[in-house]
Amino acid sequence: MSFINSLDPRINRLSIPSEFGASFPEQGEKDQFITYEVFVQPKENKAFQHEGIVHAPTEEMAFLFAKEQFSRRGMNCSGIWVIKTTDIQVSPITENGEDIYDYINKEIMEGAAKGENEKYQVFQLMKRGKQHIHAGELDAHSPEEALWNAKNKFAGDKPAFNLWIVKDSVILKIEGEEFSDIWETLPDKKYRDAMDYKATEKIKKFKEEQKA
Amino acid sequence: MYGGGQVFEPSSTNNDLLKDEDPKKLAEFEARIARGEKIEPKDWMPKLYRKQLIRMIEQHGHSEIIGALPEGTWITRAPGFKRKLALMAKVQDEVGHAQLLYGAAETLGKSREQMIQDLITGKSKYSNIFNYPTFTWADSCFISWLVDAGAIVNQLANARGSYGPYCRALDRICAEESFHLKYGHHCVIHLATGTPKQREMMQEAVNRWWAPMMHFFGPSDKISTHTEILTKWKVKMATNDECRQQFLDMYVPKIWELGLTIPDENLKRNEQTGEWEFTEPDWEEFKRVINGDGPCNKERLAVRRTAEERGAWVRRALASKTKGEEYVAPMA
Ligand SMILES: [Fe+2]
Ligand SMILES: [Fe+2]
Ligand SMILES: [Fe+2]
């Protein structure tokens, strides 16, 4: 049998048959992981903000992926929250700069199934095109009640265009003193920083030598 | 983006897609873009907009993944510990970029798994330049500096586009690219100002990569299909020629100052027009390589597909933990 012959010794060690790729097996069962939304706290005492997603089988792995993806570079992370995408309740998004809180009234709670009194976290979209930012927490018996309470607590002069509401109990939080050593080594990784590759002097010297 | 502003797609179906859109909604959508507002996943959008963005972001993501291969091959052979560290970090960034981009495309309704499937079956394209081999360390340095420089020209343009999740991913990506660019430049300077042998090695890499680099931004505007609607919708933010000109303007002087020669006698800046003149790239070769007949097309897809297949058991084992949980599109 002949194998794909590569310049890369690692690829040669894979022993990939050279006829590989001529046909494709039917794709079996989907094996895609679910997604988690990742929120990053850029600095201590600053609000968490949405940064993106990761695919993961469990929330612990979601955190590990999130750490690799969103805190590779120094000084921009002091905490991460991960939340399963399906655990986030989303309000409609408003048009023409209207405040979403103007659409929230007491009736919103009617018919909502009441559960235990629980803590919820609220994220607001304050500028279209930007990230959702953590507004704060509140207690409620249902996501609908949380919306109503959010209006009383967070509605302000500036309109919010969209709200995300999450039960606090489902969030994996890696933050605070307890976890601070996770981020400690980030500033040491200077080789990941553009600043570590200064070369102007070398070019200048080279040009002078060329002239001489 | 690596895809070079080049969205590989015949445009014949576009008009059909546009025909039955609600004119009122379309007008509102266009007004929003004209005001400079971003479009978010839950907003109404024309089918053609969705389709083109998925294609473009997906191709960009694939280019990051495949682009990690010709550079990744040099990690174990990079000269010295510091270069190994840096190249490893860069390659990790590139793979991370793909994940950010896949995430942005997913908000438009195509799952990551489907995108990966379309990559490994050859249905989706990726940037043509990664179908060329990296013979020496200098080839890897050329990619790190100049292919990334080309990618940055495109990415900065696209970051001003209209789709919110794509712009946010690009902001993050561009911040990391500044490290890639400086690192790559540092590597090239080191070789170009080094021993005669190092200089020669660098010059040979420039000779090999110049043609693919000129192809990188896609066919000349004279021969590529016009995409006015995509420009109006801020999907395409600059033409292929505009990006190529910008690249030449920024980097040719930087290549020349290192005493390197660019293998095109006709390359010069026209002082009257301010435009760069050059020998017309061989667009037939470009097409041939895109359609599968390049030096590394087969290897690139085979490696990616092998990784996918040989890693399947790991995903299956892990996925057993999430049985019953349904995948939904991510939010923003
Ligand atoms: Fe990248
Ligand atoms: Fe790159
Ligand atoms: Fe890069």
Model pTM score: 0.93
Is B49 contained in some domain? yes
Residue B5 has a pLDDT of 42
Which residues have a beta carbon within 5 Å of ligand 3, which is an ion? B 148, 177, 180
Q: B44 and chain A: CB distance < 8 Å anywhere?
A: no
Residue B10 has pLDDT above 70, yes or no: no
- pLDDT single digits (tens) B54-89: 999 999 999 999 999 999 999 999 999 999 999 999
Beta bridge mates, B214: none
Is B200 contained in some domain? yes
- pLDDT single digits (tens) B205-216: 999 999 999 999
Is B213 contained in some domain? yes
CB contact under 8 A, A72 and B93: yes
Is A13 contained in some domain? no
Is A85 contained in some domain? yes
Taking the C-alpha atoms of residue B241 and residue B26, their distance in angstroms, rounded to an integer, is: 29
The average pLDDT across B262-272 equals 97
Is A38 contained in some domain? yes
Cα B218 to averaged position of ligand 3 atoms, centre (Å): 19
CB contact under 8 A, B319 and A33: yes
Residue B1 has a pLDDT of 32
- Position B90 confidence tier, pLDDT thresholds 50, 70, 90: very high
Q: A75 and chain B: CB distance < 8 Å anywhere?
A: no
Q: A194 and chain B: CB distance < 8 Å anywhere?
A: yes
CB contact under 8 A, A207 and B301: no
Residue B95 has pLDDT above 70, yes or no: yes
Residue B202 has a pLDDT of 98
Q: Which residue of B has its CA nearest to A7?
A: B135
For B101, the domain range is 5-321
Is B328 contained in some domain? no
What's chain B look like in SS3? CCCCCCCCCCHHHHHHHHHCCCHHHHHHHHHHHHCCCCECCCCCCCHHHHHHHHHHHHHHHHHHHHHHHHHHCCCCCCCCHHHHHHHHHHHHHHHHHHHHHHHHHHCCCCCHHHHHHHHHCCCCCCCHHHHCCCCCHHHHHHHHHHHHHHHHHHHHHHCCCCEHHHHHHHHHHHHHHHHHHHHHHHHHHHHHCCCHHHHHHHHHHHHHHHHHHHHCCCCCCCCCCCCHHHHHCCCCCCCHHHHHHHHHHHHHHHHHCCCCCCCCCCCEECCCCCCEECCCCCHHHHHHHHCCCCCCHHHHHHHHHHHHHHCHHHHHHHHHHHCCCCCCCCCC
CB contact under 8 A, B168 and A131: yes
The average pLDDT across B304-324 equals 84
Is B149 contained in some domain? yes
Q: A22 and chain B: CB distance < 8 Å anywhere?
A: no
Residue B2 has a pLDDT of 42
Is B332 contained in some domain? no
Domain total in chain A:
1
Residue A24 has a pLDDT of 64
Please give the share of chain B, as a percent, with pLDDT higher than 90.
80
Domain total in chain B:
1
- Position B4 confidence tier, pLDDT thresholds 50, 70, 90: very low
Which residues of chain A fall short of a pLDDT of 70? Answer: 21-30, 74-75
Cα B147 to averaged position of ligand 2 atoms, centre (Å): 6
The complex's ipTM works out to 0.92
Residue B6 has pLDDT above 60, yes or no: no
For A82, the domain range is 32-179+189-204
Is A209 contained in some domain? no
Q: Any idea which ligand is nearest the CA of B97?
A: 1
- pLDDT single digits (tens) B138-159: 999 999 999 999 999 999 999 9
- pLDDT single digits (tens) A146-163: 999 999 999 998 999 999
Is B329 contained in some domain? no
CATH number at residue B134: 1.20.1260.10
Residue A22 has a pLDDT of 62
Q: Of chain A residues 47-66, which have a CB less than 8 A from chain B?
A: 50-55, 57-58, 61
Question: Which of A10-14, A205-209, B8-12, B164-168 shows the lowest per-residue confidence on average (mean pLDDT)?
Answer: B8-12
